[in-house]
Each structure stands twice: as structure tokens, then as C-alpha cells.
Homo-oligomer: A and B are copies of this chain.
Amino acid sequence: MKIIKNGINAVAGITSLGKAIGIKKSGKMDFAVIYSDKIAAASGVFTKNKIKGAPVYVTKKKIKKGKAQAIVINSGIANVSTGEKGIKDAEEMANLVADELKINRNDVLVASTGVIGKFLPMEKIREGVKGIGNQLSKKNKAADAIMTTDAYKKEIAVNIGNVTIGAIAKGAGMIHPNMATMLCFITTDAEIPSSELKKMLKNSVDKSFNMISVDSDTSTSDMVILMANGTKGKVNIKKFQYALDFVCIELAKKIAADGEGATKLIEVNIKNASSKEDAKKVAKSIITSNLVKCAFYGNDLNFGRVICAIGNSNARFKEEKIDIFFENEQIVKNGMEKKNNAAKIKILMKKKKNRIFVNLNSGSYEATAWGSDLTLDYVKFNSNYHT
């Protein structure tokens, strides 16, 4: 596996576009299309929030048949809490793109991110769609156009043999005053049946996007889509899964590190849990604890907070077997504090990436989760905003 440039457009048969059509008041890019020359096998993973954006309902339904040829995405307005009109608007947005590109309406997926409770400006979208057939290219502006509060665009591409996986993502948790959403669009020129695709995508999402948290709020619009257009033929499935995991984990880490107000990426490794589920529970309990997140912001590791979060995880373990390390420095042994080099830890904590490692010593399962610190800027940003 080799990391290469050009994100989603590195994939054979894939072109895309990103442009401003006036949905965002700022005038920034707010409209993107991803297009595959051939109809691609496709699979998706969607938000588990019981209140879902209209595009989530529409795309979930469309992708059931396991194929797609294009995805249209807008930023600025999420099309959530918009009732039946919202559903019609999402459907029309996909249909407009299909008609303009002269492809089947059923093969165009749709996604939105931004403010909750507002209708899409359909006039602007009808105008904006005109001429997109000539605007699709190998320049990746789509990654820019799907951003809302993101500080930087998120993309990656890898080669496995002669096939390529390319992906773009957006999100920093549901962190903005009204904005929302984690979106990820992955393309590959490998040939993979859609049944297989579904399994592989779920595997990768479970260890990547499902293991990050900025603020524990699952947006109403989260969506990960994988399209495989088969241009480069078959691939070793094991190697492909490994590469897909890598792509998803890299983008997930970028999203966690871009958490609103975050000063650092926190990685939590759990080892030797009694089940996979237990390992995940402990990792997520630590990464979502406000007190732990504040401690990381203050560059002062507080083992009592980590112990408290482990205890709150509802996982099975024996307190007296817990060992905790910060990087390579052991801070807890057999469930009790261990004398450690506090000065060294304080220096290491100032780095942009902090890693904590918990050995439960009660099995053989592991899990890793990523998150960001809870900072003054997070609270400032999310309280100073006025609707």
C-alpha cells in the first residue's frame, strides 16, 4: 500500500467539482459533485440519530440497490427538520444533477451539511446545476466545497497494486452552533461486488469514524459512501480491507484533530480487554469524558479522571488489574497510582498528539479511539454564536 496525492480524483474514472452557488452567505464554495464514468457498486453507512436529515432518508433508499454513479453534496444548509418539503427538495437536487449529466435519476445520491431547520434555496440549486457536465475534472475542489466549520480540508488516496482508493471527508463533530455532520465519500477503481462492499465498509467505519468523538453529539446528517467502479478490475480483498481501514482511520483522525477549539489529538488504546465490545466501551468512555478532555487541555494528566471514566464504561474488568500508561510512562499499576516522571509527562503532553494506553489485563481484545481536548475556544465558539 502506498499513499498518493489527489484524494478522490486519484481513482480511475472519477471526476468531481466544487463551486459556490450562493447557499453560504460568505460566498465560499458550497456545492460539490462526485462522478464515476461507469455505474459503480455502492454502499453507505448512515447516522444512528433517530432524527435524520432529508438527504439521509433519500440516499439510504437509493443505495439499497447497491449501485450509484454520482453524488451531489451541498454545505451551508443541512436540510434537517424540514418535513416533506425537505424530502422533495433532496430528491429534486439529485434529479437535477442526473438530468444535467444525462444519467439515471436513481443513480445519483445526495448529501447536505449545515444549518438545521432551514429549507434549501432550490432556485439557487437549479441555477447552480447548469453546465456541471463541463465542470467535472480531476481537480479536487469537492473537498473544499463540502466544508462547514472545518479548519482544513480532509482527503487521502492510496494505491494497492494497480487499484486505488481515494476519499474526501468533512466534519469536526457536530461542533458548530447550527452546523453539523460528518461526511465521507470514498471511491475506488477496484471491482468489488456491492454485497462485499457493504461488509468491508462497515468493518472500516467501525474502527474509524465510529471510534472518534469531538463532543458526543451524533449529527442528524452523518453519511459515509463508498463507490467502486471496477475500472481496474479485481483486487486482493484482504489487502483492500487493510487499505480501506487505513483511509478511514486517517480521515477519522483528521476530523478528531479538527474538533472545534481543539489544541491536540488524543488517542486512547485499550489492550487485553475481555471482548471487543468491552475494549470499545472503555476507549469511548475515556475519550468522551469532559473531565479527561479538560485535563488534556491543561497538560496535566489526572489519573483519577481516567479511572473514573473506565469505571463508568460499563465494561467488564478487574480494577486491581488495570495498568495505565501515558506514551511509554506508566502512571497506574494494578489499579493504583505508580510513581512516575511527572516532569517528562508534562513536556510530552504539550505535543499536538497525546496517546494514553490502558492495559486491562483481562483478555486479548483491543480497540483504539480518537478525540480532542475540551478547550476555552470550544465553549467560546459554541456559546458566543447568536442565531
Q: Which residues does A use to contact B, with CB under 8 Å?
A: 49-52, 80-83, 115-117, 174-175, 177-178, 180, 215-220, 288-291, 294-295, 297-298, 300-305, 307-315, 317, 319-320, 332, 334-337, 342, 374-376, 378-380, 382-387
Q: What residue in chain B is nearest A316 (Cβ atoms)?
A: B50
Cα of A337 to Cα of B311 in the assembled complex, Å = 40
Q: Besides the contacts A81-B337, A174-B308, what 9 more A-B pairs have beta carbons closer than 8 Å?
A: A50-B311, A81-B319, A116-B304, A175-B291, A178-B302, A180-B304, A290-B290, A290-B374, A290-B378
Q: List 13 A–B pairs whose Cβ atoms lie within 8 Å, in order of A's numbering.
A: A50-B317, A52-B311, A81-B319, A116-B303, A117-B304, A177-B295, A217-B309, A290-B374, A291-B382, A295-B382, A295-B383, A297-B379, A300-B386
Cα of A311 to Cα of B47 in the assembled complex, Å = 10
Contacts of A315 in B (CB 8 A): 50
Known contacts A50-B313, A298-B382, A313-B50: A307-B374 contact under CB 8 Å: no
Q: What residue in chain B is nearest A292 (Cβ atoms)?
A: B217
Cα of A380 to Cα of B374 in the assembled complex, Å = 10
* Inter-chain contact B376/A379, CB cutoff 8 Å: yes
Q: What residue in chain B is nearest A85 (Cβ atoms)?
A: B336
Known contacts A81-B337, A308-B174, A308-B220: A298-B376 contact under CB 8 Å: no
Cα of A309 to Cα of B50 in the assembled complex, Å = 10
Q: What residue in chain B is nearest A374 (Cβ atoms)?
A: B379
* Inter-chain contact A379/B385, CB cutoff 8 Å: no
Known contacts A49-B308, A311-B50: A174-B291 contact under CB 8 Å: yes
**Which residue of B49, B380, B383 is within 8 Å of A311 (Cβ)?**
B49
* Inter-chain contact A312/B382, CB cutoff 8 Å: no
* Inter-chain contact A217/B178, CB cutoff 8 Å: no
Contacts of A297 in B (CB 8 A): 379, 383
Secondary structure of the A contact surface, majority rule: loop
Q: What residue in chain B is nearest A291 (Cβ atoms)?
A: B217
Contacts of A301 in B (CB 8 A): 387
**Which residue of B80, B313, B317, B383 is within 8 Å of A298 (Cβ)?**
B383
Cα of A81 to Cα of B376 in the assembled complex, Å = 30
Contacts of A376 in B (CB 8 A): 376, 379-380
Cα of A177 to Cα of B299 in the assembled complex, Å = 12
Contacts of A217 in B (CB 8 A): 289-291, 305, 308-309, 312
Contacts of A308 in B (CB 8 A): 49, 51, 116, 174, 180, 217-220
CB distance from A9 to the nearest CB of B (A): 33
CB distance from A279 to the nearest CB of B (A): 15
* Inter-chain contact A383/B312, CB cutoff 8 Å: no
* Inter-chain contact A379/B304, CB cutoff 8 Å: no
* Inter-chain contact B219/A83, CB cutoff 8 Å: no
